[in-house]
Amino acid sequence: MAIERTLSIIKPDAVAKNVIGEIVSRFEKSGLKVVEMQLKQLTKEEAEGFYAEHKERPFFADLVGFMISGPVVVQALEGENAILTNRELMGATNPKEAAAGTIRADFAESIDANAVHGSDSAESAAREIAYFFSK
Ligand code: RTP
Ligand code: MG
């Protein structure tokens, strides 16, 4: 299996709920290592650029508004199959459809306030890690 890196964001709802540690603990228990980490208040421009792939979607303005509603924790996670491992830990986008025991099933409120982001492919991971952590 390949060692990969993926970009994780603990979204404003989960930061406000005080579950940063519980979420990071799930990453660590699954063998993912935090290799970059920053608590950050995103600007509107940063959130729009990050989610640029969704800019024509009807939910884009709400998504950006939510992502700047409070601080987030941006992390790069490293480990075997990190991208898929993280997506499995997160669960489905809509917490009502997320499998029991996943982060979204346990901590998310709604499809909008859904606790975490995770890169969905190797290409997204490379772009998203560089977006926040380019040296
Ligand atoms: P994320 O990018 O945040 O990790 O979430 P995802 O891959 O599971 O979902 P994606 O399709 O990339 O959508 C990004 C975020 O937009 C919101 N969304 N709302 N109302 C809707 O139909 C809808 N669809 C997506 C969600 O908050 C999702 O996390
Ligand atoms: Mg996505």
pLDDT in tens, the chain (135 residues): 789 999 999 999 999 999 999 999 999 999 999 999 999 999 999 999 999 999 999 999 999 999 999 999 999 999 999 999 999 999 999 999 999 999 999 999 999 999 999 999 999 999 999 999 986
d(CA 117, CA 9) in angstroms, rounded, equals 5
Q: Where are the domains of the chain?
A: 3-133
Q: Is 20 in the pocket of ligand 1 (CB under 6 A)?
A: no
d(CA 6, CA 86) in angstroms, rounded, equals 8
Residue 72: helix, strand or coil by DSSP? strand
Among this protein's residues, is 54 annotated catalytic? no
* Minimal-distance CA residue to ligand 1 atom 29: 93
Ligand 2 center to 31 CA (angstroms): 22
* Minimal-distance CA residue to ligand 1 atom 6: 93
Q: Is 86 in the pocket of ligand 1 (CB under 6 A)?
A: no
Q: Which CATH superfamily is domain 3-133 in?
A: Nucleoside diphosphate kinase-like domain (3.30.70.141)
Residue 5 CB-half CA count within 13 A: 14
Q: The tokens of 24 are what?
A: 């990071």
Which residues face 73 on adjacent strands?
Answer: 10, 39
- pLDDT value of residue 121: 98
d(CA 12, CA 63) in angstroms, rounded, equals 11
Whole-angstrom CA distances from 125 to 4, 118, 121, 131 are 9, 8, 6, 10
The predicted model scores a pTM of 0.97
